[in-house]
Amino acid sequence: MIHPVITGDSPPAAPHGWKWRLLGDVARLESGHTPSRREPSYWEGGNIPWLSLKDIRNLDGRYVHSTGDQPTQMGIDNSSARVLPKGTVAFCRTASVGKVVILGKDMATSQDFANWVCGPELLPEYLYEALRASSGMFEIEKQGSTHQTIYMPVLERFRVLVPPLAEQQRIVDMLDKADAIRRKRKEAIALTDELLRSTFLEMFGDPVTNPKGWEVRRLEEVVDLIDYGVTASAVAVAVGPKFLRITDIQENRVEWVSVPYCECDGATAARAMLRPGDIVFARTGATTGKSFLITECPDRAVFASYLIRVRPGPRLLPAFLAEFFQSEAYWSQIRSMAEGAAQPGVNASKLGGLLVPVPPLARQREMARVSETILGMKTRVETAIVDTGQLFESLAHRAFNEGFST
């Protein structure tokens, strides 16, 4: 695919009626800034929206309408920050390089963003889609060993493929329809997750108050294993078993085909071998406490040392325990364990001390049957989301490559 935003000085031929333009010639480039945090009057009681990285982390859609932080007018006036107009296209150039949003109202941004105020020849929504479709190009433009960034001189060299306004609108409308389908399917995923949670609460009651009076035991008393994974380096070649890491678990899914391998001795591999029914936990960092139930895995797969594996014993079904690990009763205990620590984290000993309800197995089996049905629905929707993503990529390819020779 030829990217509709490039940095080279020799762009390919454009379709009839389309033009390559320096982005700075059709949109005004503005950098962001952060008012001093050391001056309370710059932030206390402020009401000016100010876009930061945390505001885009979970954003799903083109527009951002609200921000977590709001400086005062004094803070804006005494810094290099500028309030930019609604419709400005904000491009993340640091930690989440390539993430793009459109300002849904007038707001300022942090220095993590490069911002383009579009002129009359360029629709903000078209620029948004063009930047998204050019993510592969941004990978080669990042600089820095620790914190990779696209610096302003590179941004100033951006060229954008500009079709007539009517064609820009047609591309925007086409991609918007495809993206709307994807969003609706993601909403369906959220509904199945909520259905699982409500089913759990209906069948077992709130574990915080335990209204049904189930027996409560420490986790270490009702599981067969609580152990750490393998310390090894991930490699692309099949020198040993598959090597599951925290980063391989995305949106509660593992694409085993893309999981790397690791080299470890036979005894280590045998000890850490995963099997369906195991539950793995992130034990450090921002994802501390998040868990994942292994429902399927290759015959030879181990897990990395930054994960903890729990294998339920005969009194707990994996489906029941996995759902308990989504409950507020679980998370309140995890938060309590991490309090006061400089770096969030749990260890196997702390995890073993978790208090867990232990309902009768017959009741757990009933819940497992319901869970299997709901998860089957979820899997079908997830497959549809993948198909929709491929459709979106195909449509974007057609939209921005129309008229190019192959």
Q: What is the pLDDT of residues 206-253, one digit of tens each?
A: 888 899 999 999 999 999 999 999 999 999 999 999 999 998 988 778
Measure the CA–CA gap between 26 and 161, rounded to whole angstroms.
11
Judged against a pLDDT cut of 60, whether residue 392 lies above it is answered with no
The closest of 242, 182, 201, 234 to 62, measured between CA atoms, is 182
Measure the CA–CA gap between 343 and 288, rounded to whole angstroms.
10
- Tell me which DSSP letter residue 108 carries: E
pLDDT at 404: 41
Buried b (16+ CB within 10 A) or exposed e, 270-297: eebbbeebbbbbbbbeeebbbbbbbeeb
Q: Which two tokens stand for residue 269?
A: 């591999």
Beta-carbon neighbour count of residue 396 at 10 Å? 21
Integer angstrom CA distances of residue 55 from 40, 43, 359: 22, 17, 41
Q: Does domain 5-162 have CATH number 3.90.220.20?
A: yes
Judged against a pLDDT cut of 70, whether residue 319 lies above it is answered with yes
Judged against a pLDDT cut of 90, whether residue 281 lies above it is answered with yes
On average, the pLDDT of the chain sits at 87
The closest of 54, 50, 127, 116 to 83, measured between CA atoms, is 50
Measure the CA–CA gap between 228 and 246, rounded to whole angstroms.
13
Judged against a pLDDT cut of 90, whether residue 71 lies above it is answered with yes
Q: Which two tokens stand for residue 392?
A: 């979106």
Q: Is 406 exposed, middle or buried (0-12, 13-18, 19+ CB in 10 A)?
A: exposed
pLDDT at 232: 93
Give this prediction's pTM.
Answer: 0.61
Measure the CA–CA gap between 358 and 364, rounded to whole angstroms.
9
Judged against a pLDDT cut of 90, whether residue 46 lies above it is answered with yes
- Tell me which DSSP letter residue 14 carries: P
CA 315 to chain centre: 35
Intervals of CATH 3.90.220.20 along the chain:
5-162, 215-358
Q: 3-class DSSP state for residue 30?
A: strand
Judged against a pLDDT cut of 80, whether residue 188 lies above it is answered with no
Q: Work out the angle at residue 391's Cα, subtended by the Cα atoms of residues 387 and 397, and round it to the nearest 5 degrees.
A: 145
- pLDDT grade for 345, boundaries at 50, 70 and 90: confident
Judged against a pLDDT cut of 90, whether residue 134 lies above it is answered with no
CA 84 to chain centre: 27
Helix (H) or strand (E) holding 298: none
Judged against a pLDDT cut of 90, whether residue 35 lies above it is answered with yes
Judged against a pLDDT cut of 70, whether residue 385 lies above it is answered with no
Q: How many CA atoms lie within 13 A of 357 on its CB side?
A: 26
Ramachandran angles phi, psi of 400, nearest 5°: -95, -5
Partners of 84 in beta bridges = 107
Integer angstrom CA distances of residue 97 from 60, 91, 94, 142, 284: 16, 8, 5, 8, 24
Rg (CA), the chain: 25
pLDDT at 177: 80
| Mean pLDDT, residues 32-56 | 94
CA 208 to chain centre: 29
Q: Which two tokens stand for residue 298?
A: 């290759």
Q: Does domain 215-358 have CATH number 1.10.150.120?
A: no
Q: Among 297-301, 378-382, 387-391, where is mean pLDDT lowest?
A: 387-391
Q: What is the pLDDT of residues 74-123, one digit of tens each?
A: 999 999 999 999 999 999 998 778 889 999 999 999 999 999 999 999 99
- pLDDT grade for 403, boundaries at 50, 70 and 90: very low
Measure the CA–CA gap between 374 and 22, rounded to whole angstroms.
51
pLDDT at 365: 92
Judged against a pLDDT cut of 70, whether residue 284 lies above it is answered with yes
Q: Among 37-46, 170-179, 294-303, 333-342, where is mean pLDDT lowest?
A: 333-342
Q: Which two tokens stand for residue 178?
A: 């495809």
pLDDT at 405: 37
E-assigned strands of 277-396? Answer: 279-282, 291-293, 301-303, 307-312, 355-358
